[in-house]
Amino acid sequence: MIEWMTTTDHKKIGIMYMVATMTFFVIAGILAMLIRAQLARPENDFLSAHAYNQIFTLHGTAMIFFVIAPFGLGLANFLVPLQIGAPDVAYPRLNATAFWMFALAGIVVFSGFAMYGGAAATGWTAYAPLSEIAEGTGAGQDLWLLGLLLASVSTILTALNLIVTIFLFRAPGMTMWRIPIFEWEIVATAVLILMAFPSLTAVLAMLLIDRHLGGHFFDPAFGGNPILYQHLFWFFGHPEVYVMILPYFGIITEVVATFSRKPVFGYVGLVIAAFAIAGLSIGVWAHHMFTTGAVNNPFFSAVSFLIAVPTGVKFVNWIGTMWKGSIEFSTPMLFAVGFMLNFLIGGITGVMLASPPIDYDAHDSYFIVNHFHYTLAGGSMFALFAALYFWFPKMFGVRLNETLGKWCFALMFAGFNVTFIPMAFMGLEGMARRVYTYPNIAHLGLLNAIATGGSVILAIGVMVFFADVATSVFAAARRRVPVAANPWGGYSLEWATTSPPPEFNFEELPPIRSRRPVLDTVNS
């Protein structure tokens, strides 16, 4: 225990990130099931309005700040030094500090449930002036603010560490144009974090000042401006969406290339697309504010449309990589294909919502809930499971069971779509998001019942994953046969070392003369 609490080894810290994020994922999943139970039928009173507000606030907060984004960075912690041939990250103790700040941040946010008045209940966006009313929101909102402040500082520290590591600690011969695409996506993500997260830190600090030190930044009664809050929040908030997707684009690229038995198609195009997405994402923040009437809609609409172009480039490259490949549909590859199908739907609804006339109609409706879940749950979460199945042998020396893995994928894919497709129709029928109950009109009762049924299937799929982990680890402990260094036939440098890797990662580094050093060694 003490060894893990004091470790500065990037692999152990990466694993701790993933264990922590999966713990928060389970909590967020339970909250999601409570939401679906409440909405299963019209005019339900399973939860009170205040309890429902707390639950959807913490569900969103957990998934965004404590699951999807940090899992990508946690995986980067584990993989970056391995893929570039480094013994560790550039600043191991800073790395450990950032992890513990992140873990503490999660505990602080969730401890709101134990406070008088409950946890934060103003949504993951905590719009001012609602979130400024100290009497109405209580200590739970304060803990939410402090937790997110800690998490934002932790994320900035991790981004700095990863940038320095990738630029300065590459092994001899590992030029920037030879590093795996996952590394490039992490560079783009880290630069994006450095550009966007200071805005979050600033707006949270301003909100704290308003709540406790007599400030009036966002209080219109004293000359403050609530629109300023939205600008500062979304200047972070939209890039954050790409912080939650770019690492997962990297995962998908690695998985697709490995299981198609082909080099990555359009390597340079993928790198340029990653930076184009990161750059453009800085200029789209106010498309979340179209309906305020206080922003320049044509500018933000045009830039939002533009983002579809580099994203489309990525799809072309993934399909090009698979084209005429010797494709093996192992569990990671199934999750990668599931990612592409789901993310495509999320991307297309995103392009629709970039148009202000459509956004005016769909704003704050369940159509939006459908859209962002297709990008972040159907997209990032499926890539997260692809990563877990793909790199689990490297992390723990245990290969997960393929049959259970395929059941996990099938149940999650079916459950996800049965849950979220009806939400598009709920939105079109006018159901507002964040309402704790709804009248029995149109088809809302039926659509919600289907969505709740789908969420049960999805939850069973997730449980199959945990059962897979438990049974595989138990079976491996009985067999006592270590998994091979390269069980999937991977090409990047992490597959050149043992599973799990030794301290400081490599007994001996292979020569690096191309983007696929492990295959070079095998073929030579």
Partner 1 sequence: MKSFVGIFGCSAGFGFVIALVYWWVAHEETVGTVLLGVMTAALVFAAIYAVIGERSARLDGDEPDLTNADAAGEDLGVFTTSSPYPILIAAGAGLGLLGLLWSPLIGIAGLTVVVLCLWRMGAESSRV
Q: Is 223 helix (H, G, I), strand (E, B) or coil?
A: coil
Q: Is the distance from CB of 94 to CB of 157 less than 8 angstroms?
A: yes
Least distance (Å) from partner 1 to the CB of residue 140?
11
Q: Is the distance from CB of 42 to CB of 444 less than 8 angstroms?
A: yes
Least distance (Å) from partner 1 to the CB of residue 280?
8
Nearer to partner 1, 33 or 272 (CB): 272
Nearer to partner 1, 242 or 285 (CB): 285
Nearer to partner 1, 168 or 470 (CB): 168
**∠ CA 95-97-101 to the nearest 5 degrees?**
120
Residue with token string 């073929």: 523
Least distance (Å) from partner 1 to the CB of residue 118?
16
Interface residues with partner 1 (CB under 8 A) are 3, 5-9, 84, 86-88, 92-97, 99-101, 103-105, 108, 139, 142-143, 146, 149-150, 153, 167-176, 178, 187, 191, 194-195, 199, 208, 212, 228, 231-232, 235, 275, 279, 282-283, 285-286, 294-296, 298-299, 303, 503-504, 509, 511, 513
Phi and psi dihedrals of 180, rounded to 5?
A: -60, 155
Q: Is the distance from CB of 88 to CB of 173 less than 8 angstroms?
A: no
Nearer to partner 1, 360 or 504 (CB): 504
Nearer to partner 1, 168 or 352 (CB): 168
Least distance (Å) from partner 1 to the CB of residue 409?
36
Least distance (Å) from partner 1 to the CB of residue 90?
9
Nearer to partner 1, 204 or 450 (CB): 204
Query: What separation in angstroms does the CA of 447 have from each of 30, 71, 348, 420, 431?
Result: 21, 32, 22, 10, 11
Query: What separation in angstroms does the CA of 199 have from each of 187, 244, 356, 374?
Result: 20, 17, 25, 26
Q: Is the distance from CB of 426 to CB of 39 less than 8 angstroms?
A: no
Q: How far is Cα 204 from Cα 426, in angstroms, rounded to an integer? A: 33
Least distance (Å) from partner 1 to the CB of residue 358?
21
Least distance (Å) from partner 1 to the CB of residue 354?
16
Q: How many residues does the chain have?
A: 524
Nearer to partner 1, 195 or 308 (CB): 195
Picking from 215, 188, 191, the residue whose alpha carbon sits closest to that of residue 204 is: 215
